[in-house]
Structure 1
Amino acid sequence: MQKSDATTPLWSSVAILRLVTFGFAVAAVIVHHDQYQRPTLGWVVLGLIAVWTAFTVTAYLLKFGRRVAVVWTDVAVTCALMYTSVWILSPQQMDEIAPLITTVWASEPPIAAAVLNGRTAGVLAGIAVAIATGFSRGALTTDVTRDAVLLMGSGFVVGLASVTARRAQERMAQAARAEAATAERERLARSIHDSVLQVLARVRKRGNELGGEAAELARLAGEQEVALRSLVAAAPPESTADGTADLGPRLQVMATGTVQVSVPGTPVQLPESIVTELTSLVSEALLNVVKHAGDGANAWVLLEDLGDEVVISVRDDGAGIQAGRLDQAASDGRMGVARSIRGRVADLGGTITLETAPGAGTEWEIRIPREPDKKGRHKVGGAR
């Protein structure tokens, strides 16, 4: 299914404007041709205006003209036809500020440029047409200045409307995708609850009743039950149009019977690449808890959005790390923590601190700023 264009009504308005203003051009030639110094040339130019009007109206309505090349060719052709007024109008008409051969027909290109590329393009096209008007008149008059202001102003306003329409369309599409994903997730959650979760709950209960090796199976079943419930409850991860994603759901799915995850109630939108890096980083930290914290150790993951930076804390109540152990591991060539955790944080331009002591558990605190540093390293919200 082809995606609809939010600016289609604006393009229809551009086509209507061109037709209406063409009528003004025809009326101007009919009224003033007796005073033209070259009336025949005036009718020839009017014929060219009619041909170009037919082309641009068709091109904008049928979408094949909604391109930079066509729109800026429209600007150039309009300015060129306007300048023919120098040879068509008599000196007296020029002195009396009679309407140029194009009249208000020349006001359409800045509108088209604004609809296509926004405010800046609309203003630039307005400036181009205003300059052509000044050259055609041969002087910077009050009328030329007024036309310039109107042309640039209309380009700015229509460009703003165009950008707003596109943003609104994308937000509606994103909301529709989120609603569809949520509905599908709820359907799957009901199905999983009626099958897998009930089986895991029964295995956990029966294993605890039997004891022995069955109790270990019960514990594992319980952990998987908690993890599956967290996965079902978490919001579906989705990237937005600007390439960002919510970090919260990516961390929530890591919750198990021994890992608790706490995230803000509002989305923590970060670039997709950063979300991937931070998710891998937290996963590596939790893997270290399993490997080194000892049996029965619990872990807590806390995500905070402080506005100018994002803070992630990974804490456990395990055996802790002895002083100098990480440095010794690095010197022995075992670079797991240095590369997987500290290396990722350094690449993101953030900072990481470690608080630990033997028997007191371990806590990593990772801070990733949103603004790039002086070296231009990639950070949250920045660019590589």
Structure 2
Amino acid sequence: MSVEGPLWRALVAYRVLTCAYTTAVFWYGYDDMDHPLVGGIYLGVLGAWTLGTLGRVTSAERCTRGFLAADLTLALGGILLTMVVDTQERINQGAFTLPSIWTAGSVLAFAIKGGWRWAAVASSLVAVADLVERGSGAGRDTLRNVILVWVASIGIGYVVEVARISERTLARALQIEAATRERERLARDIHDGVLQVLAMVQRRGDQAGGEAAELGRMAGEQEAALRSLISGAPLPAPRTGEAAPQGPTDLRALLAPYASARVTLSAPGTPVPLEPAVAGELAAAVGAALDNVRVHAGERAHAWILVEDEPDAVLVTVRDDGPGIPAGRLAAAAAEGRLGVAQSIRGRLRDLGGTAELLSPPGEGTEVELRLPKRAAAGEVTAVSAGGAA
């Protein structure tokens, strides 16, 4: 339900009641006026206009700019016509203008239709007309009434603008909630059917070998892609040459392309925001660790990436089921000038203000733990060295 609806209905009632009140006030002072017949003709036009345009003030769509201009012109004309119809003595004593408080309805229509800016313009025009009509007789009461109409109309216009913004925000939130629920429903259906079938095909294909193994590999890739889609994983990062992202980058977006049939990515359901340069370096370190898995554990090795968004740090763990790294192998690789682990992984994390720990018991696979404190992730990136895989 729109907040504007009750305001438009209240405006319709206000215009009818104030028109009746204005007519009664006019007939009460009829005999004391200089040209009451002219005033009676104006009141007749005002009454016909009010009743004939009730449908115009029922919604913002029907209350057009042309109608508002004509409505305000009728109110301003009545205020200025009072100088002809009434006596100067009655005007100086504070007698009502011909449209009286009906004029406020015209100003309120501007406020509901266009907000506080439109209300300020309309109420200012009414204020000028009132001051002209009063002339030298304008006193404290006139100024008080002018300011009252001006402040009230602007206040109502501002409230209407805030209500419209709130309604749009609420509508957007409801759309997101509905889309999320539908996505979750589809994810359940897919998980209960398609994903289980693809996982079974992958396992049976690996066991059967030969052409069935290739079919299993393809099924595994499709399972990983579909699982990433239904879990809401973000799109991959821009390629080289594309516009750099503005603001924080979701680390999940940079790690999502690594997921495959043999690389399982587990990440939080909510974004893991980091500065773009920091996120890029952390993702590159993960890529270097996966390169080591392919080179040293073999193409058939399975790897797992676990992303944890802790209160004070971002933790990324890369683990594989390979044979592990023999004792002294990393030191020997560094001595030979192959600095994949030393520079591409540990060097990157060191320059970011984080740490990289490597655990590799023989025969039990390798685990690389990358920890980046959030206070370091919020700072600037220093010079980062890049090396090849060990």
Return the TM-score normalized by structure 1. 0.64
1:359 maps to what in 2? 388
Residue ranges of structure 2 left out of the alignment (5+ in a row): 236-247, 296-302, 310-315, 320-338, 345-379
Cα 1:199/1:71, change in 2 over 3 Å:
same
Structure 1: distance between partners of 2:22 and 2:264: 75
Decide whether the 8 Å contact of 2:60 with 2:113 is kept in 1: no
Residue 115 of structure 1: aligned partner: 112
> How far apart, in 2, do the equivalents of 1:201 and 1:171 lie?
41
What is the CA distance between 1:213 and its match in structure 2? 6.0
Letter in 1 for 2:171: A
Alpha-carbon separation, structure 2, partners of 1:8 and 1:316? 57
Deviation, 1:52, is 2.1
Match of 2:20 in 1: 23
Contact 1:118 1:160 in 2 (8 A): yes
1:256 equivalenced with 2:259 (yes/no):
yes
1:150 to 148, 151, 168: 148
Check the 8 A contact 2:76/2:129 in 1, yes or no: yes
- Take 2:269 and 2:230, find their aligned partners in 1: how far apart are those partners? 18
Q: 1:254 to 1:41 in 2, by over 3 A?
A: farther
Q: Residues 185-200 of structure 1 correspond to what in structure 2 (within 5 A)?
A: 185-200=183-198
Q: Secondary structure at the match of 2:53?
A: helix
How far apart are the structure 1 equivalents of 2:111 and 2:251?
39
8 A contact 2:234–2:256 mirrored in 1: no
Name stretches of at least 5 consecutive residues in structure 1 with no aligned partner. Answer: 238-245, 269-277, 305-313, 323-350, 362-384
Deviation of 1:101 (Å): 1.0
Query: Which residue number corresponds to residue 38 of structure 1?
Result: 35
Larger Rg: 2
Paired with 1:108 and 1:62, the residues of 2 have a C-alpha distance of 14
- Which among 4, 9, 12 is matched to residue 7 of structure 1? 4
The answer as to whether partners of 1:293 and 1:316 remain within 8 angstroms in 2 is no
Q: Is contact 2:19–2:47 with CA below 8 Å preserved after alignment?
A: yes
Q: 1:47 offset after TM fit, Å? A: 1.0
SS in 1 for 2:388: coil
Aligned residues: 300
1:41–1:27 CA distance, 2 compared to 1 (3 A): same
- 1:96 deviation in Å? 0.9
Maintained 8 Å contact 1:42/1:88? yes
Q: Check the 8 A contact 2:115/2:161 in 1, yes or no.
A: yes
Matches of residues 158-197 of structure 1 in structure 2 within 5 Å? 158-197=156-195
Task: Give the % identical residues.
Answer: 28
The amino acid across from 1:358 in the alignment is G
1:119 Cα deviation after fit: 1.6
Partner of 1:208: 206
More off after superposition, 157-166 vs 221-230: 221-230
> Which residues in structure 2 correspond to 1:282-301 (within 5 Å)?
296=294
1:150-194 per-position Cα deviation (integer Å, ceiling 9, x unaligned): 112221221123223322332332233223222322232222123
Q: 2:77 is matched with which residue?
A: 80
Deviation at 1:7, TM superposition (A): 1.3
Question: Is the 1:234–1:253 contact (alpha carbons within 8 Å) kept by the matching residues of 2?
Answer: no
RMSD of aligned alpha carbons: 4.3
Change (3 A) 1:360 1:51: farther
| 1:53 aligned to which of 50, 61, 64 | 50
Q: Deviations over 1:39-91 (max 9, x none)?
A: 11110111121122123322112765322232233222211121100101101
2:322 maps to none
Q: Which residue of 2 aligns with 1:127?
A: 124
User: Closer, same or farther in 2 for the Cα pair 1:214/1:167, shift >3 Å?
Assistant: same
Q: Secondary structure at the match of 2:384?
A: strand
Aligned match for 1:91, one of 88, 91, 97: 88
Q: Which amino acid aligns with 2:57?
A: Y
1:93 Cα offset (Å): 0.4
Change over 3 Å in CA distance of 1:185–1:210 after alignment to 2? same
Other structure's SS at 1:207 match: helix
Alignment check: 8 A CA contact 2:251 2:271 kept? no
Question: Aligned partners of 1:160 and 1:259: how far apart in 2?
Answer: 52
Distance, in Å, in 2 between the alignment partners of 1:235 and 1:45 is: 68
Q: Give the conservation status (yes or no) of the 8 Å contact 1:121–1:155.
A: no
**Counterpart of 1:164 in 2: which secondary structure?**
helix
Work out whether residues 248 and 303 of structure 1, in 8 Å CA contact, stay in contact via their aligned partners in 2: no
Contact 1:22 1:53 survives alignment (8 Å): yes
Q: Structure 2 CA distance, aligned partners of 1:301 and 1:128?
A: 66
The alpha carbon displacement at 1:299 in A equals 11
CA distance 1:190–1:106, shift in 2 (3 Å): same
Instruction: Give the partner amino acid of 2:75.
Output: T
Deviations 1:343-372 (A, max 9, x none): xxxxxxxx99883411369xxxxxxxxxxx
Instruction: Choose which of 265, 270, 278 in structure 1 pairs with 2:270.
Output: 265
Q: Report how far residue 218 of structure 1 moved.
A: 3.8
